[in-house]
């Protein structure tokens, strides 16, 4: 098998279930089942991740962002009577507080040294051709609840006609937090 295109054995620490997932992913890839290999590797990544990720998904204007703010005890995610959340917002514990704009693969697009611009970044509807079209926001915030190892993910509403805003919600569970 071509080792360059093979699933990496270096990313996660050795663990029987992790090793089995890696072996099976290699087998799936050798049999031409890239789809299964990708799912197995994503599951393997979740095994190695110490944080618990809570993704809030629901229809438009159902109080998803309000729920997250309630959990945090802080008005962090934008709340509005109009469409408020237009892209994924991943909130994790971290200092200094900042917003990092990331591509779906985790590479960094931009960084804001405070949370002042978060509402604008989260609310601006992604448009075709924009380098930020598929970007998500990683918010580092100092928060006692998040400090327990929880990552909260706010998502655009699902349903209705806003497919470009809806699509990221469907990929939220496979998004891999960095760092």
Ligand X SMILES: Nc1nc2c(ncn2[C@@H]2O[C@H](COP(=O)(O)OP(=O)(O)OP(=O)(O)O)[C@@H](O)[C@H]2O)c(=O)[nH]1
69 lies in the site for Mg ion, by CB under 5 A? no
CB 128 within 8 A of CB 48: no
- Binding marks (x or -) toward Mg ion, 14..53, rule CB under 5 A? ----------------------------------------
| Closer CB to ligand X, 35 or 81, in the complex | 81
84 lies in the site for Mg ion, by CB under 5 A? yes
Q: What residues are paired with 136 via a beta bridge?
A: 102
Q: For residue 64, give the nearest of 172, 174, 178 by alpha carbon.
A: 172
For the sheet containing 89-93, what is the strand order? 52-56, 150-154, 89-93, 136-141, 98-102, 108-112
| Closer CB to ligand X, 26 or 134, in the complex | 134
143 binds, among ligand X, Mg ion, none (CB under 5 to 8 A by kind): none
Among 18, 65, 69, 143, binds Mg ion (CB under 5 A): 65
- Give the binding site for ligand X (CB under 6 A): 60-66, 79-81, 83-85, 157
Dihedral class, residue 155 (left if φ above 0, else alpha if ψ from -120 to 50, else beta): beta
């Amino acid at each position: 098998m071509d080792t360059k295109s093979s699933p990496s054995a270096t990313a996660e620490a050795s663990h029987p279930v992790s090793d089995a997932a890696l072996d099976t992913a290699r087998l799936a890839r050798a049999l031409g089942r890239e789809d299964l290999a990708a799912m197995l590797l994503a599951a393997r990544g979740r095994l190695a991740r110490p944080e618990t990720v809570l993704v809030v998904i629901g229809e438009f204007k159902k109080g998803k962002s309000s729920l997250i703010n309630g959990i945090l005890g802080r008005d962090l995610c934008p709340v509005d009577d109009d469409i408020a959340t237009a892209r994924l917002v991943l909130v994790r514990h971290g200092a200094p507080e900042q917003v990092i704009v990331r591509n779906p693969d985790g590479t960094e697009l931009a960084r804001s040294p405070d949370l002042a611009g978060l509402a604008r970044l989260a609310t601006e509807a992604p448009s075709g051709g924009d380098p930020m079209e598929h970007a998500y926001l990683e918010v580092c915030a100092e928060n006692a609840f998040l400090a327990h190892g929880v990552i909260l993910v706010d998502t655009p509403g699902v349903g209705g006609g806003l497919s470009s805003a809806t699509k990221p919600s469907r990929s939220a569970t496979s998004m891999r937090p960095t760092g």
